[in-house]
Amino acid sequence: MTSHDERKSGQDLQKVIRLITLALAVAAVVKELRTPPEERQWNGVLGFVPYDFRVPTFARVKERMWDPENAHLLNPRVFGVGWTLNVGRLVELVRQRVSA
């Protein structure tokens, strides 16, 4: 069982992560709005954190979340700020481990 202090600590961490994510999203939007309209892309890297505010497409979802051939386990999110897990690559790595 978890104590009240452990639960509160976990909740505090979640709040901090949400606040950081929100701050990064605001910074990315501000960056795009400061760019001349014809040059806005709504995706890129903010410092070292990727963002993508374009309308998600099936091709992009597949490319970032199910690409066993991609060497990366983490890819930029399909929509939003941060990274997403490349489940296809994870499954491929597990298959390679099991078959070895």
Contact call for residues 84 and 65 (beta carbons, < 8 A): yes
pLDDT value of position 86? 98
Q: Mean pLDDT, 10 residues at a time, over the chain (100 residues)?
A: 75 93 94 95 92 96 96 96 96 93
pLDDT value of position 13? 93
pLDDT value of position 22? 93
pLDDT value of position 91? 97
How many structural domains is the chain composed of? 1
Rounded-to-integer distance, Cα 70 and Cα 25, Å: 26
Determine the structural domain holding residue 41 and report its residue range: 4-99
Query: Which of 94, 92, 74, 93 lies closest to 83, judged by CA?
Result: 74
pLDDT value of position 2? 64
Q: What DSSP designation does 41 have?
A: -
